[in-house]
Structure 1
Amino acid sequence: WDRVKLPPGASFDRLEGLSVAANYNNACRRMLEKHDARWVWLMDDDQIYPPEILLNLLERNVDIVTPLYLRRVSPFLPVLHGDESRGYTRYDFSYLKGKSGLVDVTADGTLPTGGMLIRRHVLEAVSDPWFETGQIDSEYGSWDIYFSEKARQAGFTLFSDTDNAMGHIVPLALWPVQDKGTGEWRYDIQEAH
C-alpha cells in the first residue's frame, strides 16, 4: 500500500477488524466526517496495487469504479457477478471478451469492493450502512453485491476498469515433483486450502 501514489491532499486511514463490511462502513463514515473529502478508496489486505492505480482510477472521473482483479480460488475468474435474475452467478472471461476500458456492469452485474473508488455524493445518496453481510446470501459475505444493488437502485452507474488491474494474493503450496522417466525435478503449484 505504501507504494501507491496519492493525489495532493489525500490521506490514508487504515482500519483493522474482523468484519470487512464494518471496516468499509467505518471508512466511509470517516471520509464523510472530513468535509473536504470527495472520494473514498476501499483497499483490501489481500491485494497488490500498482503505484499509479489510484491516480488512474481518479482520472476516470466516474461515481463508482473498481479495477479488474481475479478471484483468489480456482478457476481464478474475474471478480464480477452477473445478476442472472438475482442468482448472482460469477462471470467468466467470456463476459469481458472484446471489452476494454470502462465496462458498465450496471444493467446486469455487480462490482467487488476491493479497490473500489466511490465519490462522496454516492455515499450521501445511498443510506448507511452501505455494506452489510447476509443481505444477499446468508452463507457468504456478499457486502459487495449488497452495495452494488443499493447504488444501482439509487441511480448510479457501476464500472469495472479493465485498463487498471490489481493482483489478488493467493495462498499456494509448491510441491517438489520428480519426473519418473527422466529423473528431473520440477515443481507443481497447488492451491493451499
Structure 2
Amino acid sequence: MSAAAATTVEITEEDRLRADLYGFLSALLAAPPDRMLLDKSAALHGDDTDLGRAIGTLSKLARAATPVSVEREFTRLFIGLGRGELLPYASYYLTGFLNEKPLASLRKDMTAHRISRAPNVYEPEDNIASLMEMMAGLITGRFGVPAPLPRQREFFNRHIAPWAGHFFADLERAKGSVFYTPVGTVGRLFVNIEREAFRMSGA
C-alpha cells in the first residue's frame, strides 16, 4: 500500500507493538519470507501466554526453515498450479467469490483514509496481507496521521473482524502448513485480542 502523505507522530508503546505485529503478519503473508525475515522470526521470544507460546513455536520453526522450504510451502498454500489451498481474500471468505462487495467497500474506505494500492501490486486489495499492512499504517500514521481509536475500530470491524479469524484458523489446519501453522495461530489469537480490545473501548 502507498500513502498520499505521511507524517511522523509519536504513538504509545502499546500501539507501536500492535502495529509491529500487524506489519510482521503482513510481511509473512505477502510473499515467501527471505533469509532476513526468517532470521527476524527466529529471534523472537514468547512468554507463557497463548500468543507468546505461538510466537515461540514460530521462532523454533523459523530456525529450522530455509528460504527454499518456506517458498515451497507458501506456493502450496497460496499459489498452487491453478490456485493454492487457501484464498486469503475477504470477498472469498464472505461471499464465496473474488472481487465482490467487500472489496468495493474496502476501496471506498481506502479512499477515505488516503490509502492507495502500490503500482507494483496487482492482486485485489482485500487480501489478508494488505489488510494487515493497512491496520499497521492506520495505527502509526503512515497514511497521514495516526487514526483515532474509533476509526481503527471501524476499519477493523468492517474489513478484518468478519473473516480474518476464520482465515487464520484455516491456515493453522491447512494440509500444506508447517512453518505457517504457528503464523495462523498468532494471527487468530491476535485478531481475537484486537476484537475484544475494540469491543471494550467502544462500550
Q: TM-score, normalised by structure 2?
A: 0.24
Structure whose CA Rg is larger: 1
TM-score where L is the length of structure 1 = 0.24
Higher helix share: 2
